[in-house]
Amino acid sequence: MSAAGVSGSKPTGRRGLGAPALLLVGSVALYVGVAFWTGQTKMLETDGVIGLLQRMVALGAVALGQTFTILAGSIDLSVANLISVAAVLASFIMQGRTEMMLPAIGVVLVVSALVGVVNGALISRLHVNPFIATLGVGLILQGMLSASFTDFAGSVPREFQAVAYGSFGVVPYSVAALFVLAAVASIVLSATRFGAHLYAVGGNAEGARLAGIRTDLVTTGAHVVCSLSAGVTGLYLASRLRSGAPWIGRDGVYDLESIAVVVIGGTLLAGGRGGVWGTLAGVLLFASLDAAFNMMGVSAYPKLVLRGAIVIAAVAVYTVRMRGQVA
Amino acid sequence: MTLALDEARRRSRAIEAARRVNIAVVVFLVFYLAVGLLQPTYLEPPGLMNFLRRAAPLAILASGELFVLVSGGFDLSVGSLVTLTVVGGSMLTANDPSKTWWAIAVLYGIGCLVGLINGAVVAYLRTPSIIATLGTLLSVNGAAMMWCGGAPRGYLPDNFRMFGRFVFHDVPVIRIFPLAIVVLAAVCGLAYWGLHGTVFGRRVFAVGDNARAAELAGVQVEYVRLGVFVISALAAVTAGVMLGGFGGVSIDVGLGLELQAIAACVVGGVQLMGGRGTLVGAVAGALTLTALFALLTLLGLPQPLKETAQGIILIAAVAFGAWRQRRAG
């Protein structure tokens, strides 16, 4: 959130590649260890690993976008509701017809970008706290969606289902797309002016403004990226479920989980530090945990309890080394 | 000449007094009047009493959340704690009224523990409170589901439900007087004293305003953080006990209440990221939200659009607060 949330927080440990690499090794070790321990070594073959990667796609796509807002020192709680809106809109416009695929995708992306612009404007122009602004926009979206649709609406044509079910050989399109998106996001963050400005605004918004950066445009840009990624996640879920329903975003808890994986991935909640590879490593940790729980046959409710504890533990690993006060 | 000066001074004093009245109180009165115009029974004493009874749990939650918000944090775990209280209450009492008091004591113990965990994770592990309390939200919800096996059964005994349900009849003037209002008044009184009348309260403001400065001034910031999260958790258990008297036992009684409590505080002028807020504002915010829900129901808006209205009000309240603050400099 704003820089005021963390004062004088200087992590003493190594950053950069350290955090994602550690998470990656930990996640893989967890997955492999549990597979051997439970004797389910076929989970280590191609199909099992592809399954693990496929678990990453939905949360991964939205978390990539969430990384941008958090790097900018903002936050987006409206993504879960926007995912539902995107999925329902896509399948409702398509109604199972192939020729409506492109228009539906276009509408979803335009609507998502607009939501991002609204979020950004509320935060940077009207100075509404990002937590409240995006929470409010999420409520508005969800209310309008639930008032218009109460069940699965429309359906997607077979061709569109390829988004979730098609593959190049053994690698599913969706998994490949996730890594391509991550690579693009990484390049944007490290090699473009927008990326540099994003880190500057997140690190010290007032300093960035005094240095001549249009902080309002940067914040809005980050929110547009985040909303677009939520729109893409909605499209993917519509393809996977073959239709969209107004509760799929909320059921997936994509708002809170996307924030959790970004922070687990080593991006500072106060902004200005971090990157997308850490986020992907955080998503992998969540996917490995899910897979490990399934292999061990942990039932649904203890899984929830453990997940909460793991969110705290994974973030505390970084934060415990910080000096200074955190709220 | 002096007359004109006196006049001007009096006017500026009136403006000053008007400015000090919390804007949420005015908004609440307007909303409540609108509700009363649509449904005149709300303007009669029993209608008002029933309204206050229904608003009590949210007002209590907001009073607790206020401490955490003023200290600069968030507590997202209160809704799940309400659920755990209701579900746990039904499991612990097992339909036996003689176990009620013991069960309530255990529930407060659990609440205290959850608050201590929240506070310790934030204070000692330096984890941002959004993430810390999000973690406890997931865990506490999971624990509530585990406890009842996913489907709560049974019901709460009558003496457990009386805090939310019991009404004194044949009271002069106001005719009915719900016990819930006594609880509400007690909690508000305690919270007012705690935040605005004690050294601890001053320290909560100091920590929220500038934690580093407070630390340098000798405030034990860690203890203050533990304190505010425990207070918030205890308020959540209280709200849970009251909500248990309202309806049946279900696993979604507390769903989304944490956001409503934060929204109530924000509408009441509490500043997120800490340092500013009043109990009167938080309670007025809770009453405003409850009046808004009543108004939307009376207008015949479907349930989902209430969410939309809540979102608009929330954004408008914060945008207004931010605007006023910028104008004041």
pLDDT, tens digit, 9 for 90 and up, residues A51-76: 999 999 999 999 999 999 999 999 99
Contact B222/B123 with Cβ under 8 angstroms? yes
pLDDT band at B328 (very low <50, low <70, confident <90, very high): confident
Torsion of CA A205, A211, A215, A217, to 10 degrees: -160
The domain made up of B55-299 has a fold known as: ABC transporter involved in vitamin B12 uptake, BtuC (1.10.3470)
Nearest CA in chain B to A10: B126
Which candidate from A128, A269, A326 shows the least CB-CB separation from B319? A128
Would residue A268 count as lying in a domain?
Answer: yes
A326–B131 CB contact, under 8 Å: no
| pLDDT tens column, B118-167 | 999 999 998 889 889 989 998 999 999 999 887 887 778 888 888 888 88
The pLDDT value recorded for residue B182 is 93
- Look-up of token digits 């547009």: A224
Checking if the pLDDT of A4 tops 70, the result is no
Phi then psi dihedrals of residue A237, to 5 deg: -65, -35
| pLDDT tens column, A75-85 | 999 999 999 99
* Residue A171, beta-bridge partner list: A168
Checking if the pLDDT of A17 tops 80, the result is no
The pLDDT value recorded for residue B329 is 61
- What does the alpha-carbon distance between residue A319 and residue B10 come to, in Å, rounded to a whole number? 54
The pLDDT value recorded for residue A126 is 93
Q: Which of B74, B87, B124, B125 to mutate to test the interface with A (most CBs of A within 10 A)?
A: B125
Q: State mean pLDDT over B286-296.
A: 91
Checking if the pLDDT of B4 tops 90, the result is no
Instruction: Quote the domain boundaries for residue A257.
Output: 59-275
- Contact status of B61 with chain A (Cβ, < 8 Å): no
A326–B127 CB contact, under 8 Å: yes
Establish how many alpha carbons lie within 13 A of residue A214's alpha carbon, considering only the half-sphere containing its beta carbon. 10
Contact B72/B274 with Cβ under 8 angstroms? yes
**Residue % of chain B over a pLDDT of 70:** 97
Checking if the pLDDT of A224 tops 70, the result is yes
A145–B304 CB contact, under 8 Å: yes
E strand or H helix at B15, and its extent? helix B2-20
DSSP one-letter string for A170-200: TEEHHHHHHHHHHHHHHHHHHHSHHHHHHHH
Torsion sign (Cα): A307, A312, A315, A317 = negative
Chain A residues with CB under 8 Å of B221 CB are: 325
- What does the alpha-carbon distance between residue A286 and residue A307 come to, in Å, rounded to a whole number? 9
Distance of residue A124 Cα from the nearest chain B Cα, in angstroms: 11
- What does the alpha-carbon distance between residue A101 and residue A159 come to, in Å, rounded to a whole number? 9
DSSP one-letter string for A24-35: HHHHHHHHHHHH
Q: Strand A167-168 and strand B167-171: pairing?
A: unpaired
The pLDDT value recorded for residue A2 is 41
Which amino acid is present at B110? I
Contact A254/A134 with Cβ under 8 angstroms? no
- Contact status of B308 with chain A (Cβ, < 8 Å): yes
DSSP one-letter string for A81-122: HHHHHHHHHHHHHHTT-GGGHHHHHHHHHHHHHHHHHHHHHH
- Contact status of B209 with chain A (Cβ, < 8 Å): no
- What does the alpha-carbon distance between residue A309 and residue A306 come to, in Å, rounded to a whole number? 5
* Residue A153, beta-bridge partner list: A244
- Look-up of token digits 């209440």: B257
CA A235 to chain centroid = 14
Based on C-alpha coordinates, what's the Rg of chain A? 20
The count of domains in chain A is: 1
Domain segments of chain B: what residues?
55-299
Chain A residues with CB under 8 Å of B305 CB are: 143-144, 147
DSSP one-letter string for B37-50: HHSGGGGSHHHHHH
- Contact status of A293 with chain B (Cβ, < 8 Å): no
Would residue A115 count as lying in a domain?
Answer: yes
Q: Which of residues 69-88 of A touch B (CB under 8 A)?
A: 75
Chain A residues with CB under 8 Å of B310 CB are: 136, 139, 143
Q: Helices B100-124 & B78-93, crossing angle to 10 degrees?
A: 150
- Contact status of B305 with chain A (Cβ, < 8 Å): yes
- Contact status of B113 with chain A (Cβ, < 8 Å): no
Chain A residues with CB under 8 Å of B306 CB are: 143
- What does the alpha-carbon distance between residue B207 and residue B223 come to, in Å, rounded to a whole number? 11
Chain A residues with CB under 8 Å of B71 CB are: 327
- Contact status of A129 with chain B (Cβ, < 8 Å): yes
DSSP letter at B34 equals H
User: Model pTM?
Assistant: 0.86
The pLDDT value recorded for residue B272 is 83
- Contact status of B322 with chain A (Cβ, < 8 Å): yes
Q: State mean pLDDT over A239-263.
A: 90
B126–A138 CB contact, under 8 Å: no
CA A230 to chain centroid = 7
**Residue % of chain A over a pLDDT of 70:** 93
Would residue A211 count as lying in a domain?
Answer: yes
Phi then psi dihedrals of residue A300, to 5 deg: -60, -45
Structure tokens that stand for B171 in this block: 């009271």
